[in-house]
Chains A and B, each alone.
Chain A
């Protein structure tokens, strides 16, 4: 599958302040907040749905307090004409159904100076932190307006207001509300009325930028999907051929498993809720030893519990896929927030010399393709593959173009019945040796985590250990991974390297830097292990300096790359741990400063589109 050249979103706030109100924009950022029963998440999901129906793209991130129900919550959306892979620096609109504890989200909802804050007419004050940006407050008596439409929910009012301000057509909003409505007709009517009432109220608020142009054209030949990263990964696994899953609930991976449970049942697969992660990993190894492509999904704490057994899959050459939806670490950490801090563990955290595949999807859409690719590689190379997703992608929803890739059949090299002189771990040029599947006569063997001879019998001999170590390393290093190993964009002597969800804000930052005449090559790594030095070298041809950008405290990617490769110049990094997402503006600033430091002469400012 070729990665299409990705269109870059227009930079929003280059150096000058926002165009005057009433002007058009290519993306809008809207936050809806509230607590206890106000239905904020539902409103956000419907707004995203309506945007999709109007031909737009969008991204929705959710955040909430620690309570199971009734807690403060906010839906953070970015809508626009191109696929959104990053939140913007600031929000244009914050609508709060109520303000209880919403100030806790202040760091996550920075407002634009020309932004708008709605809410507070029902007696609650807008927390000062939201007004300190210069955003203006508009008082709307939301509770009174909601009461005026008996039987309606207040969040439908919020949907109407935000939808109208974003310029969404009424039929898109109504269609979103109607589709999937499970309650009574009367309640639907009441809520449609509330929606319209909200739209009317919005019409009276002037000076809010509109998304430019009419609805964008849906690209011919593609449909659109509304999907979360967790769902995409689950679907990618199934498309890649996974038919057995064993897993244990853990935030933020559980939704992937809850999607897969009924899906697998419907297509003839199986999902078992295991008693813990040690059971999960061993169950999938067992199933895969039996010939069925298998997968588990977890987060950092669970992945750590699987350590020894992932090594077993390496040693016994059993293909498995482990999706790690990364969250704030270490230990229990920050379960509901994103971070890219399991990288070091994934690439080097196993005991002994244990080569394994590590992949990282770079967007919600890419969760599907990369998980499917992980299955393909694991099966082909008879090795474990760790897929580093994260909470930001996993639990956010986006409108994406329907992925073009079709389901693939996993190809595992298996032994034919009665193969003469069959040796499970026979050394081969590629390093991959045919795997006998239980039920096949004449090629029976015992898989072992103990080091073994080619015959699979345990061995402590130096020759056997050396041979098997070489074989397991060679099979990964010699494989031809094609162009999917990374997305390499642009030509310049400075290169930014990143992975995972950081690629969204990084790409946007690079676009903005380009407007300031700073040209930078972007390398988004998708295959983090193995790293093939000659392939990376090719991607870095002509590059004199690299900057590594990542969302963790320990500069894990920078240290890893420096350890594995000879990087040109004096490699540097920009890193910040979770829980807050990286933002394009701070990255653009860092890139421009870095570029200024390194470029001997200023680049000529070319006309940018």
Chain B
């Protein structure tokens, strides 16, 4: 697993773990490309919605753990993903997200490409870590749509995949720009002198 070492605490490599695609050590089946535009866009929408849920969970957890800066960032990210989801719904004329059958998803791994892994957060994480998660997510999404475009059997699906790939590429650039404005955390960002507490 490729890990950037920005901490001395080996167990606190939450942020760097996001670089690895979860579940990819399993045998990766060939991409299950959706045959129709409808099916494809339904999956793209599902992807966005998973990202919204994931970022919202992260934001709630950060808020509860007194990390308001990062909580705010995750809420903003959830907002962006929600906007993308809304765009897809509008384009397709949907009022409700169509169900996507389990097992028909085109992506490999447990999480949709755009959702950061659920264990990739830490209560002391800094904004820089959050943006790294977001960056990795957008990069995965971009790569995913590219792979789908290559494997697509119908022209209309290929076209849609390429469009979405281009959009994700824009997001990558946006996140990179955001990242450049945020300070890199110190090596001891994860150190907490206090032990965990008894509660119940």
Contact = CB atoms under 8 A, between A and B. Distances in A.
Contacts of B65: 35-36, 67, 69-71
A68 B199 CA distance: 7
B192 interface: yes
A498 B200 CA distance: 28
Contacts of B195: 41
A247 to B, nearest CB: 15
A542 interface: no
A61 to B, nearest CB: 14
B196 A68 contact: yes
A395 B68 CA distance: 30
A39 B193 contact: yes
Contacts of A335: 198-200
Interface string B133-171: 000000000000000000000000000000000000000
A158 to B, nearest CB: 11
A508 to B, nearest CB: 28
A36 B197 contact: no
A66 B200 CA distance: 8
Residue in A69, A72, A252, A255 whose Cβ sees the most chain B Cβ within 10 Å: A69
Interface in A31-79: 35-37, 39-42, 64, 66-73
Given A67-B65, A70-B67, A101-B66, A37 B192 contact: yes
A153 interface: yes
Contacts of B196: 68-69
Nearest to A102: B66
Contacts of B91: none
Contacts of A36: 65-67, 123-124, 192
In this complex, which of A68, A252, A254 has the most chain B Cβ atoms within 10 angstroms of its Cβ? A68
B194 interface: yes
B193 A72 contact: no
Contacts of A73: 194, 197
B197 A153 contact: no
Contact of B194 (A39, A101, A336): A39
A336 B196 CA distance: 13
B43 to A, nearest CB: 36
Contacts of A35: 65-66
A173 to B, nearest CB: 16
Given A35-B66, A36-B124, A71 B197 contact: yes
Given A37-B192, A42-B194, A251 B67 contact: no
Interface string B115-136: 0000000011000000000000
A155 B196 CA distance: 16
A332 interface: yes
A488 interface: no
A70 B124 contact: yes
B66 A70 contact: yes
Nearest to B187: A151
B36 interface: no
Interface string A239-258: 00000000000011011000
B64 interface: yes
Nearest to B193: A39
A100 interface: yes
Contacts of A37: 123-124, 191-194
A148 B68 CA distance: 23
Interface in A440-472: none
A202 B193 CA distance: 23
Given A67-B64, A68-B199, A155 B123 contact: no
A68 B197 contact: yes
Nearest to A44: B194
Interface string B167-200: 0000000000000000000001001111111111
Interface string B28-65: 00000000000000000000000000000000000011
Contact of B192 (A39, A251, A332): A39
Contacts of A98: 66
A262 B66 CA distance: 35
Given A41-B195, A42-B193, A153-B193, A70 B200 contact: no
A105 to B, nearest CB: 13
Contacts, number: 74
A258 B67 CA distance: 31
Nearest to A72: B66
A251 B199 contact: yes
Given A36-B124, A37-B192, A39-B193, A100 B198 contact: no
Contacts of B191: 37, 153
B200 A332 contact: yes
Contacts of B194: 37, 39-42, 73
A251 B193 contact: no
Contacts of B124: 36-37, 70
B192 A69 contact: yes
Contacts of A332: 200
Interface string B57-96: 0000000111110000000000000000000000000000
Contacts of B66: 35-36, 70-72, 98, 100-101
A161 to B, nearest CB: 16
Contacts of A153: 191, 193
Given A36-B66, A67-B65, A336 B123 contact: no
Nearest to A183: B191
B197 A69 contact: yes
Contact of B199 (A39, A66, A155): A66
A155 B65 CA distance: 18
B51 to A, nearest CB: 24
B77 to A, nearest CB: 20
Given A67-B65, A72-B66, A100-B68, A251 B198 contact: yes
B200 A251 contact: yes
Contacts of A41: 193-195
Contacts of B198: 251-252, 254-255, 335-336, 395
A37 B68 CA distance: 13
Contact of A69 (B68, B123, B188, B200): B123
A547 B97 CA distance: 69
Nearest to B194: A41
B178 to A, nearest CB: 21
A571 to B, nearest CB: 37
Chain A CB within 10 Å, residue with most, of B64, B66, B188: B66
Contacts of A252: 198
A55 B193 CA distance: 26
A121 B99 CA distance: 51
Given A69-B65, A332-B200, 18 more contacts: A35-B65, A36-B66, A37-B123, A42-B193, A67-B197, A68-B197, A69-B123, A70-B66, A70-B124, A70-B192, A71-B65, A71-B66, A72-B66, A100-B66, A101-B66, A155-B193, A252-B198, A395-B198
Interface of A: 35-37, 39-42, 64, 66-73, 98, 100-101, 151, 153, 155, 251-252, 254-255, 332, 335-336, 395
14 contacts: A36-B124, A39-B194, A41-B195, A42-B194, A64-B199, A67-B65, A68-B196, A69-B196, A70-B65, A71-B65, A71-B197, A73-B197, A101-B66, A336-B199
7 tightest Cβ-Cβ pairs between the two chains A and B? A39-B193, A35-B66, A70-B123, A70-B65, A42-B193, A100-B66, A37-B192
